[in-house]
Amino acid sequence: MKSRHVLCLALPVLWVAVLAAATAVIYARHQARDLFVRLERLNADRDALEMEWGRLQLEQSAWSSHAFVERVANEKLKMGLPATTDVRIVRQ
């Protein structure tokens, strides 16, 4: 009779423990999926920023090349090399 009473008391407690453990597993898996999605999104953002950084470095090197600066000075600013008669050499 006593063992039957303990069994009737232990069975609901074990049932609640199993349900709590199952709920914890479901919650942990959900959190892991959310974090994985966030990680993948951040990795994609990082890759896009690295590509943009590479493009900006190429653009900077193109803009700072002497040929580009000279072409812009000639075409847009209507600048040119001075005539040799206009050049003065200054020495100290």
- pLDDT tens profile 5-62: 888 888 999 999 999 999 999 999 999 999 999 999 999 999 999 999 999 999 998 8
Half-sphere exposure of 43 (CA within 13 A, CB side): 6
Query: What is the pLDDT at residue 35?
Result: 98
Query: What is the pLDDT at residue 2?
Result: 73
In terms of pTM, does the model score above 0.85? no
- Helix orientation angle between 2-63 and 66-75, rounded to the nearest 10 degrees: 60
Q: How many CB atoms lie within 10 A of CB 70?
A: 13
